[in-house]
């Protein structure tokens, strides 16, 4: 069974994100779907979080590097995971060889409520500000305005 996130608007329900849109496209017309309703955290704040991540990723310019003949490339998912870990939202586990692995905690709708997500947003903003955007914007207020402008597109 798949989880589908929907937002109610004046005309009914619409998919929250691209994954949800893709899932809806796979459901044949005329299909009956049974749903259990639960109110989740504010989807606009979730969009704002990803707008912040996208802005940070666009301005992030890591130095060119190679590893064993392979050129390193920027990757949004790795960037998102790293800033989440640096913000303190991480799980520490073991790899099969006994070495330690650090991975980002889930920020899914099911994993946290609005107050918890606000804390994640605030701490991730601090990391992105300190590591990437403090030389791009004069202050965090200007950064917040840029994130809000991205959301309006």
pLDDT, tens digit (0-9, with 9 covering 90-100), for 9-31:
888 888 888 888 889 999 899 99
Domain ranges of the chain: 1-37, 42-151
Residue 25 pairs in a beta bridge with none
Burial class (CB in 10 A: 0-12, 13-18, 19+), 105: middle
3-state SS class at 93: strand
| DSSP state for residue 62 in the 8-state scheme | P
Q: What own/partner pairs with CB < 8 Å and gap ≥ 24 does 3-8 have?
A: 3/110, 4/35, 5/40, 5/43, 5/109, 7/43
pLDDT value at position 1? 67
The model's pLDDT over 43-84, given as tens digits with 9 standing for 90+, comes to 788 889 999 999 999 999 999 999 999 999 999 999 999 999
What is the DSSP pairing of strand 100-104 with strand 90-94? antiparallel
Residue scoring higher pLDDT (87 or 8): 87
Q: What is the pLDDT of residues 122-136, one digit of tens each?
A: 999 999 999 999 999
Beta strands 70-71 and 66-67, pairing class: antiparallel
pLDDT over 90 (residue 35): no
Predicted local confidence at residue 109, as pLDDT? 67
């Amino acid at each position: 069974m798949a989880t589908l996130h929907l937002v109610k608007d004046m005309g009914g329900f619409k998919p929250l994100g691209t994954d949800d849109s893709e899932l809806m496209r796979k459901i044949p017309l005329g299909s009956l779907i049974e749903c259990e309703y639960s109110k989740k955290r504010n989807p606009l704040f979730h969009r704002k979080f990803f707008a912040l991540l996208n802005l940070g990723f666009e301005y992030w310019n890591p130095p060119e590097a190679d590893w064993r003949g392979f050129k390193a490339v920027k990757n949004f998912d790795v960037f998102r995971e790293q800033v989440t870990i640096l913000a303190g939202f991480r799980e520490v586990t073991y790899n099969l060889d006994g070495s330690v692995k650090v991975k980002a905690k889930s920020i899914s709708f099911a994993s946290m409520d609005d107050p918890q997500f606000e804390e994640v947003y605030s701490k991730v903003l601090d990391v992105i500000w300190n590591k990437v955007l403090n030389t791009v914007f004069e202050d965090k207020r200007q950064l917040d305005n840029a994130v809000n402008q991205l959301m309006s597109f």
